[in-house]
Amino acid sequence: MRDQEEAVSARSRGVLVVEVRGELDIGTVLRWTTLIEAAICELPDPHLLVVDLASLEFLSVRGARGLFEVMEGCRGRGIAGCLIATPGTVVERAVRLTGLAGRVPVFPSRLAAIAAYQPVEMRWLPV
């Protein structure tokens, strides 16, 4: 599966979305955390990091710890951070069981995550 690992990042108005694919475990955690840190450094004045785990196939305890460390580093720089984990998946279960969900906000989709961090005056209003 390692040959299928890739990261896709999108930047828009201070929001950085990094999509993690493949596996996030002891063998790949340094690569992924370095890649996320590099993406943060490339974005001028980011205010939100969204790490999308929807395409991730496996998340180990060490991988969850690495994600937490990245999020703590962001918090120390004044950057909010959250995760996307599709409900009912193996990865979402790992996020809950490792305690990561209790330490980092987790959303079911990118739209829900980004909307939650928008200023009140910018949020969508029901019609």
Residue-wise pLDDT for 89-108, tens only, equals 999 999 999 999 999 999 99
Please report, for residues 11, 20, 25, 28, 54, the alpha-carbon distance to residue 4 in angstroms, rounded to integers and kept in the order given.
Answer: 23, 11, 14, 12, 15
Give the pLDDT score at 124: 56
CATH numbers and ranges of domains, the chain: 2-117 (3.30.750.24)
Reduced to 3 states (helix: H, G, I; strand: E, B; else coil), residue 25 is coil
Q: Is the pLDDT of residue 4 over 50?
A: no
Q: Mean pLDDT throughout 6-10? A: 51
Residue 36: other Cβ atoms inside 10 A: 24
Q: Is the pLDDT of residue 118 over 90?
A: no
Distance, CA of 116 to CA of 24 (rounded, Å): 26
Q: Give per-residue pLDDT as tens, 32-72.
A: 999 999 988 887 777 899 999 999 999 999 999 999 999 99
Burial 55-75, CB ≥16 within 10 A → b, else e? ebbebbebbbbbbbebbebbe
